[in-house]
Amino acid sequence: MSIFLAGHKGLVGSAILRKLRKKNYKKIITISRKNLDLLDQKAVHSFLKKKKPKVVIIAAAKVGGVYHNNTHGADFIYENLQIQNNLIHGSFKNKVKKVIFLGSSCIYPKKSKQPIKEKYLLTGKLEETNEPYAVAKIAGVKMCEAYNKQYKTKYLSLMPTNTYGPNDNYHTNNSHFFPALIKKAHECKIKKQKIFKVWGSGKPLRELIFVDDIADACIFFMNKNIKDTIINIGTGKDMRIKDYVNFLIKKLKLKVNIKYDNKKPDGVFRKVLDVNLARKYGWKSKISLEKGFDITYKDFEKKYKKNQ
């Protein structure tokens, strides 16, 4: 079974690649951005026609945290729509048997009931700070649904919750909340800083999943016949951002005072996924925050030293 993995160098894509290799998949197709621009429809369609994969996994996307989403909305909606349109329609044109489209839990309404079921999609307004990205991902979900309905294809959308792990983005302004906290905690440790500054009030609740669990879910569902077109991928558990801060302080043995910047936006107050559908099919997350953090922090330390 030949598999084209789009976005193999990103956080999620690199984890999927590691997992595929570990499970001895031999026909894995990857290509760098330099050699294939996923925004170029003609180039994408030609590539799929030439390579003829049986499965396409769409882990390629433009992603970022609250600040970057809020200031670069046009880039987020254009690039994500273009990438997924080219890959989904290109897969259809070239008779790809199965597509796995990776979305995000931010597709759900801002004031969604908790925990969030798949059926809550499009039942309310989105969180304003990442609306362009969310709209693009919703379009991808609905595109897969429409092709399944009209053409009897087998395109599946997996919706992961907040993700962390090796190869994450730790940029000060455009990373997600947990990698941003890891970087701040590390700098408190090595620079012996006494103040740990945290974006927002620390009160919002967030669910986290280790990236290898997402990779495991992709391969699990790739090999299943699935009737549903959208499945949540998460742990089903959440904590306050304050709790994650305290977790890092304990792990890194910091002696600091926490300073919350209440002028910064909190985003959605609570966002935890209902993962009962995934469990019904036989999949659940396996890696604890403790274990996932230890693996992530080793990778972070290497990269941090290299960039100094």
Task: Indicate if 147 belongs to the active site.
Answer: no
CB 165 within 8 A of CB 295: yes
Q: CA-CA distance, 233 to 274, in Å (whole number)?
A: 9
User: Which residues, in sequence order, are bridge partners of residue 100?
Assistant: 57, 156
| Chain position carrying tokens 């059926």 | 119
Alpha helices in 191-251 (DSSP H): 211-222, 241-251
Contact (Cβ atoms closer than 8 angstroms) between residue 54 and residue 98: yes
CA–CA distance from 300 to each of 67, 71, 165 (Å)? Answer: 21, 26, 9
The token pair that represents 32 in the structure block: 């760098």
> ∠275-174-83 over CA atoms, to 5°?
65
Cis peptide bond prior to 115, omega within 30° of 0: yes
Torsion 144-130-61-106 (CA) sign: negative
Of 133, 164, 244, 260, which residue is the catalytic one? 133
Burial class (CB in 10 A: 0-12, 13-18, 19+), 263: exposed
Please list the active-site residues: 133
